[in-house]
Structure 1
Amino acid sequence: MRLRYAMVCSSNQNRSMEAHSLLKRQGFEVASYGTGAHVKLPGPSLREPNVYDFGTPYKVMLDDLRRKDPDLYKRNGILPMLKRNSSVKTAPQRWQDNATDGVFNVVLTFEEKVFDMVLQDLNNREQVLMKTVLIINLEVKDNHEEAAVGAKLALDLCQEIEAVECWEDSIDNIVMAFENKHKRKLLYSISFY
């Protein structure tokens, strides 16, 4: 059985999109989302982020930052990130607004507060289908290097989940083996659609 995956991070579209891109290239059925109120990308200083609405095409963001300061945004990796993102999908989507586009079997988050937000969102919805969904948090620092490492770890984890006949019966063993192999602690929970 082919499973459907969602990659979810906060609002900057780095970790979830890196994992989305890698899993998509490997043939997985995958989507990606943010959970913040807006898409926030680094600006010239911490106090001056670039803020966009969810649904703003990546190409629009890319063009905007190229106009503002192409050297800065190339140097800090934002332009290459947006170029990658635009090759994966048109625009960022917000979990709370779009996650009902389909039913996911596995939702992978990359920070604990996002894990909590996804769980809260799923628990507050009317659970009509009563289909199980596995939510896993794989803590990944929010920088380009760690996002690449996190994507490879996410791929490994998803391949392990795909390899079993019924993840519900095997998830404890999958998580334990993953934690031992990669020396990374996972949080996980089961919810329903």
Structure 2
Amino acid sequence: MAADPRLARAMDPRRTATPPQPPPPPPPAQSEQKPVGGYDGVEDVNLDSETRREREDFKLKFCTVCASNNNRSMEAHLRLSLASYPVLSFGTGSLVRLPGPSITQPNVYSFNNTSYESMRQELLAKDPRLYRANGILPMLERNSSVKWGPERWQDWPVGMPRLSEYQQGKGSKGAEGGVVDVVITCEERCWDAVVDNLIERGSPLNRPVHVINVDIKDNHEEALVGGKAILDLADSLNEAANEERVDTEGNMSFDERVPDIIADWQERWPHLPALWTLAWF
């Protein structure tokens, strides 16, 4: 019910002729404690140093895959490793095939026991002018600075520690545990081979893994563009994974957000068709 405050004041027996003293000023406002992981643009302000360090140190583990583990997967491997992501790379072909003097005369090597440097030396002895002009020698020089040699996906014993491989230059720092969170293939047939192989393995680790294909033409120019796009996708995925680690409200999990992340990424890179599935190690 509405009431006239003047009537209430007139009927108050405590009313005197002396006007009341003004109330004391309110105490200084205490800064509101923001929840860890808030989404108001200042989520890092109240993170303690240990939590902030954990977020900065945490990185998703990636694996890049193409047919011969030489061009597209290695360009992406290089970019991810330079961004401090733990990363492995593989090929899905039966043999490593590099362009030769003609389409019917490729240079063929075996996976797992042929180094990039030995390939480079062999092609340098065969025809240095040809293999420098078509970009094969510079590609092998780049590859040898990243890891020892091409590895085959189907021969990878998932979950086995890779300490000796890392010491021999066959792996990336942080990926010595032998598992990854995301596999990114560079061609649809490689995506098919990876998914089929995971099904054949029977999920012995019962560990989820996101398998994403970014379709990249197998030439040096497209590999450079594809490597940038894969790094952009990795950054988006890693940001979402970090948000889940500090989300106290129980919002959507990282696994649930991956399709939306890929859809947003696809708008930024419309010329690189993408596929995705959730599989299991």
SS in 2 for 1:91: coil
Matched, 1:141 2:217: yes
The residue number in structure 1 matching 2:232 is: 156
Cα gap change, 1:191 to 1:12, in 2 (>3 Å):
closer
Counterpart residue number, 2:274? 186
Which digits, 9 at most, give the CA deviation of each residue in 1:4-39, with x for residues without a partner? 110000126100000001110110000110011111
SS of residue paired to 2:108: strand
TM-score normalised by the chain length of structure 1 = 0.97
Contact 1:6 1:108 in 2 (8 A): yes
- Superposed CA deviations along residues 142-166 of structure 1, whole A, max 9, x for unmatched, are 0000000000000000000000124
Larger Rg: 2
1:116 aligns with 2:202: no
Structure 1 residues 131, 111: closer, same or farther in 2, change over 3 A? same
Residue equivalent to 1:57: 115
Higher mean alpha-carbon deviation, 168-177 vs 153-162, is at 168-177
What is the letter of the counterpart of residue 131 of structure 1? R
SS for the counterpart of 2:156 is: helix
Change (3 A) 1:118 1:99: farther
Provide closer, same or farther for how the CA distance between residues 190 and 99 of structure 1 changes in structure 2, counting only shifts above 3 A.
farther
Pair 1:125–1:106, CA change in 2 (3 A) = same
Does residue 177 (structure 1) correspond to residue 264 (structure 2)? The answer is yes
Match of 1:85 among 138, 143, 149: 143
SS at match of 1:40: strand
Return the structure number with greater relative CO, CA threshold 8 A, min gap 6.
1
d(CA) in 2 for partners of 1:97, 1:171: 28
How far apart are the structure 2 equivalents of 1:105 and 1:40?
A: 28
Give the 3-state SS of the residue equivalent to 1:7 in structure 2: strand
Please state whether the residue corresponding to 1:93 is helix, strand or coil: coil
Q: Secondary structure at the match of 1:176?
A: helix
Q: Judging by fraction of residues, say which structure has more strand.
A: 1
Number of aligned residues: 193
Runs of 5+ unmatched residues, structure 1 = none
Q: What letter is aligned with 1:68?
A: K
8 Å CA contact 2:116–2:143 kept in 1: the answer is yes
Task: Identify the match of residue 125 of structure 1 among 183, 186, 201.
Answer: 201
| Structure 2, unaligned runs of 5 or more | 1-57, 161-177, 245-252
**2:98 aligned with 1:41, yes or no?**
yes
Is this contact kept in 1: 2:65–2:91, CA < 8 A? yes
Deviations 1:88-122 (A, max 9, x none): 00111000002524111100001100000000000
